[in-house]
Structure 1
Amino acid sequence: MDTRAMLVGLVLAMLPTPGLGAPVESDTLQSPRNKLLLVSFDGFRWDYDQDVNTPNLDTMVREGVKARHMTPPFVTMTSPCHFTLVTGKYIENHGVVHNMFYNLSNRVKLPYHPTLSKGSWWDNGSIPIWITAQRQGLKTGSFFFPGGNVTYQGEAVTQSRREGIAHNYKDEKEWRANIETVLGWFTRDGLDLVTLYFGEPDSTGHKFGPDSEERKKMVEQVDRTVGYLRSRILEEGLESRLNLIITSDHGMNKVNKKAPDLVEFHKFANFSFSDIYFELLDYGPNGMLYPKEGRLDKVYEVLKKAHPRLHVYKKEDFPKDLHYAGHSRITPLVMYSDPGYVIHGRINVQNNNGEHGFRNDVQDMKTIFRAVGPNFQRGLEVEPFESVHVYALMCQLLGIQPEPHDGDLATLLPLLRDGSGLPPRGPALLLVTLLVALFLLVQVAM
């Protein structure tokens, strides 16, 4: 009995500490681990490969995994959607609720590029996968990826690059140079995870529209870049130990710029900006208002019937299934417009031919998901899923314990090969330990 008691004590000591986000000790990370590259092509709508010749993306389908489409979170903007990918949280839970930094107290607003380096906007309680992986012994990198160039609880990504305010998103030569840098991070610097961001075809879709010839040519450039990336992965000897995911943040919708029923606040009867303390309008099809003290009900009653294509809610009544309005950064009034319509504030300043930011159940907001590598199945096409699940999949591929998140690993686990050599993690590690314990106890009993 003494021997058995000692053995039980030893087994209990071997078990991992309960709780998500707990650091994984070094002795649990000895199994072979493949590297992971997450690539995002901003604004790549789910069907952009259907009216353009995309041989390299098509090859990825034959050699890996494709989702029919992927559903981003609401609000379908660049920074919020990218942060969902790297945290596995809905936007109301990670708090990056807009592309722009804003402060409701002093009414300061910053454009997109300055917001990329505004640490307090990103570091507000959620830990992205870069930091989680580093705390568990890995090295990570972010190249232009939103959120990858600030510190979280005082910790920075191992390697990072941030785009400049006047950055040329379309330069294909620079795209290839960026790929070379990232591959060097893997081969020379020993990084385990890198997130790589390209600002197209979003920029072209905004300027010329999602149905334009310019957008089609840009998708061809994206496909050439995918081909270049995969060929360089092969040349660097990384193909057998690098998992590659190619996805995006959101889609794109054509704007009805000449519609007779534009959504224009400055033309709404009985509405006055003198009743508003803070406004965030003129940024696509969604907006927020903070009415002055005592004027919330008055403003709401005017706006809820102001335009049939505008949908205005008090914060507490905003649709719960959109997982957006539950954060403290959201103003008392939240709104969005119908597909094809943007929200104009004091004057009409929006001139884009394409836009995103609409509800995430709008088909044009759906985006792509492709994956290939040693741990992914081959020739598999799966049903649509939400991007909130990608984080758990990436943690599984890296063999790290995730932070608390809103995704479900079971949703995307079928994308992986059976017995693909993934290092034990979480429940899998616990199961292995218990099986070993059972075997030893049986041996003692005999």
Structure 2
Amino acid sequence: MGHSAVLLTVALASLLAPGAGAPVGRQGSQNKLLLVSFDGFRWNYDQDVQTPNLDAMARDGVKARYMTPAFATMTSPCHFTLVTGKYIENHGVVHNMFYNTTTKVKLPYHATLGIERWWDNGSVPIWITAQRQGLKTGSFFYPGGNVTYQGVAVTLSRKEGILHNYKNEKEWRANIDTVMRWFTEEKLDLVTLYFGEPDSTGHKYGPESQERKEMVMQVDRTVGYLRDRIRQSGLDSSLNLIITSDHGMTTVRKNASDLVEFHRFPNFTFKDIEFELLDYGPNGMLLPKEGMLEKVYEALKDAHPKLHVYRKETFPKSLHYANNPRITPLLMYSDAGYVIHGRVNVQFNNGEHGFDNEVMDMKTIFRAVGPSFKRGLEVEPFESVHVYELMCRLLGIVPEANDGLLSTLLPTLQDTSQGPLSTPLPTLQHTSQGSLGTPLPTLQHTSHRLPRTTDGSGSALLPSGWPTLVTGLLVAMILLGKVA
């Protein structure tokens, strides 16, 4: 074997060595990233109150006219879309609640935050991807950030308590101070920070209330404090900041004469139902008893003009929601302003979300500022599924297979000339245990990507969608064969 062949052999061996993929995955960026979510911040909440700090952030960086969340527009599913780049049917966190149709167990939102098998069901969020490629990450109250994925935990994390006071502005500032220490003292590269407002206030008082307006002003003060702390911590030249949310909020028609009430539907009976997930805003799922599917569907499909009931297989494909084993055979949603009442009326919120993501009140915000972003740029609306690819680019890491397009948000960046746009990965397979009480069948979850090139329009597709490492190995083997 000649000298060239020996060199190629060594190179090939190094590619195959354990851990060799980590350096390959980095795309060159050394900037840190802070993703902040203010839950339930509707896209136009800054239009009826003064928000000088959010306005300044838009002047200094990038603002979207609005961002369209994933359907269903609920907290946990939409937050997981942001950190995986997947539609909800593809990442599997389909609801705020854990449920099991066999045992009939249903757990509330806060309890579900700690249930590993609900979150770790085949998709790997950006924290884990970044850590596998040599970075350190943190999650402060962010949904999904307090469980392990494939045995790996986030470097540092904090989980909110069940009785956590979402409104405490003093605590908000203390949390920001902690995150700044994570960046400066613990040397973290990525942190996701979550605030439960203005969602909580919007639910209680309604999105048009004075209480909500005052809460938005508190959010704005917090944005100002955050940017001040970034400067004081010496991070303004090395930290990119994204502020966004999971969904919007709309007013509930609590006193409408045509409420959606299952217990009043004349041709429907709960005796035909094996499992139900109702009374959670405008969404519902039903598992009819054996042999009762068609009977229940026929009873419900025209039961109310504001209620839209589907067999799982006929649910609108554009919503990217129903194609997951955790979704029951019948599912539904109601029109904006209407919630679904099951056996009794137990919902009393003045504001609600969970509606069709094309409803304008469900749209949310996107702001970004930092060394990697252009200044004073307003971009057209886009789907939240694209944020993940942007974050991977900012961190210099290779993304997992996902449903986003880097080309959507690439124009927000100062310089797009360095490194590959992204690396599509092979078909994803889910074989984990589902919430319906039976093992999940193997699903072929292909990315919803269009073919792209390396000219700035999106990720470069390698042959058969193979990642860069695999293609590199093949090239090395071919060259080795030529010189051996």
Question: Same fold by TM-score, threshold 0.5 exceeded?
Answer: yes
Give 2:82's match in structure 1, choosing from 82, 85, 94: 85
After superposition, the C-alpha distances for 1:292-338 in whole angstroms (9 at most, x for unaligned) are: 01111001001001100000000001001000000000001000000
CA distance in 1, matches of 2:124, 2:198: 28
Q: Say whether 1:233 aligns with 2:210.
A: no
Structure 1 distance, partners of 2:27, 2:318, is 41
Q: Which residue of 1 aligns with 2:445?
A: none
> By how many angstroms is 1:424 displaced?
8.6
Q: Closer, same or farther in 2 for the Cα pair 1:72/1:277, shift >3 Å?
A: same
Q: Which residue of 2 aligns with 1:265?
A: 262
Contact 2:29-2:395 within 8 A present in 1 as well: no
2:50 pairs with 1:58 = no
Change (3 A) 1:170 1:357: same
The alpha-carbon distance between structure 1 residues 303 and 24, as it changes in their structure 2 partners (threshold 3 A), is same
CA distance in 1, matches of 2:103, 2:210: 44
Report the more deviating stretch, 377-386 or 415-424. Answer: 415-424
Of the candidates 315, 320, 323, which is equivalent to residue 320 of structure 2? 323
CA distance in 1, matches of 2:33, 2:419: 12
- 1:335, 1:45 → 2: CA distance? 23
Name the CA shift for 1:424/1:391 in 2 (closer, same or farther; >3 Å). closer
Between the aligned partners of 2:154 and 2:178, the Cα distance in structure 1 is 16
How far off is 1:270 after superposition? 1.5
1:78 deviates by 0.1
Aligned residue pairs, count: 429
Give the Cα–Cα distance (whole angstroms) in 1 for the partners of residues 400 and 307 of structure 2: 37
- Displacement of 1:25: 3.4
Distance apart, 1:421 and its partner CA: 6.7
**Residue number in structure 2 paired with 1:141:** 138
Q: 1:85 to 1:29 in 2, by over 3 A?
A: closer
In structure 2, the residue matched to 1:71 is: 68
* Corresponding residue for residue 407 of structure 2: 410
- 2:177 maps to which of 151, 175, 180: 180
SS in 2 for 1:239: coil
Q: Is 1:336 equivalent to 2:337 in the alignment? A: no
Structure-1 residue corresponding to 2:478: none
Quote the Cα distance in structure 1 between the aligned partners of 2:78 and 2:140. Answer: 17
Q: Does 1:398 align with 2:395?
A: yes
Contact 2:389 2:422 in 1 (8 A): no
Residue type of the alignment partner of 2:106: K
Which structure's relative contact order is higher, taking Cα pairs within 8 Å and 6+ residues apart? 1
- Cross-structure match for 1:287: 284
Counterpart code for 1:70: M
CA contact (8 A) 1:28 1:424 kept: no
| Separation in structure 1 between the aligned mates of residue 58 and residue 356 of structure 2, nearest angstrom | 28
Secondary structure in 1 aligned to 2:241? Answer: strand
Query: How far is the alpha carbon of 1:24 from its aligned partner?
Result: 3.8
Matches within 5 A, 1:14-413: 24-26=21-23, 29=26, 31=28, 33-413=30-410
State the Cα deviation string for residues 214-266 of structure 1 (Å, max 9, x = none). Answer: 00000000000000000000011000000000000000010000000000000
**Aligned partner of residue 274 in structure 2, secondary structure:** strand
User: Tell me, what secondary structure is at the counterpart of 2:297?
Assistant: helix
CA contact 2:166–2:195 (8 Å) conserved in 1: yes
Q: Which amino acid aligns with 2:408?
A: T
Q: Distance in 1 between matches of 2:96 and 2:22?
A: 37
AA of the residue aligned to 1:203: S
The verdict on how the C-alpha distance between 1:205 and 1:16 changes in structure 2, with shifts beyond 3 A counting, is: farther
Contact 1:377 1:415 survives alignment (8 Å): yes
SS at match of 1:25: helix
- SS of aligned partner of 1:39: strand
Q: What 5-or-longer segments of structure 1 have no aligned partner?
A: 438-446
Q: Is the 8 A contact 1:32 1:423 kept in 2?
A: no
Q: What letter matches 1:323 in structure 2?
A: H
TM-score (norm 2): 0.84
Listed one character per residue, the Cα deviations across residues 167-213 of structure 1 (whole Å, up to 9, x for unaligned) are 00000000000001111000000000000000000000000000000
1:104 offset after TM fit, Å?
1.2
Relative to structure 1, the CA distance from residue 181 to residue 302 in structure 2 (aligned partners, 3 Å threshold; closer, same or farther) is same
TM-score normalized by structure 1? 0.91
Q: Deviations over 1:53-82 (max 9, x none)?
A: 000000011100000000001000000000
Q: Distance in 2 between matches of 1:324 and 1:364?
A: 20
Q: Distance in 2 between matches of 1:282 and 1:29?
A: 45
Structure 1 residues 29-38 or 154-163, which shifts more?
Answer: 29-38
Residues 215 and 30 (structure 1 numbering): CA distance in 2 closer, same or farther, change over 3 Å? Answer: closer
Tell me how far apart the structure 2 counterparts of residues 50 and 371 of structure 1 sit (CA, whole Å): 18
Distance 2:34 2:13 in 1: 32
Distance 2:262 2:307 in 1: 10
Sort the Cα spacing of 1:115 and 1:23 in 2 relative to 1 into closer, same or farther, 3 A: farther
Which sections of structure 2, spanning at least 5 residues, go unmatched? 424-458, 461-466, 476-484
Alpha carbons of structure 1 residues 291 and 425: separation in structure 2 relative to 1, 3 Å: closer
- Measured against aligned partners, the alpha-carbon deviations of 1:6-30 in whole angstroms (never above 9, x if no partner) come to 699589859989xxxx974337759
Rounded to whole Å, the distance in 2 between the matches of 1:29 and 1:313 is 44
How far apart, in 2, do the equivalents of 1:390 and 1:53 lie? 27
Distance 1:234 1:106, change over 3 A: same
Q: How many Å separate the matches in 2 of 1:341 and 1:299?
A: 21
Give the whole-Å Cα distance in 2 for the aligned partners of 1:290 and 1:30: 46
Shift of 1:105: 1.1
| SS of residue paired to 2:237 | helix
Whether the 8 Å CA contact 1:90–1:406 is kept in 2: the answer is yes
C-alpha distance 256-178 of structure 1, shift in aligned 2 (>3 A): same
CA-atom RMSD, angstroms? 2.5
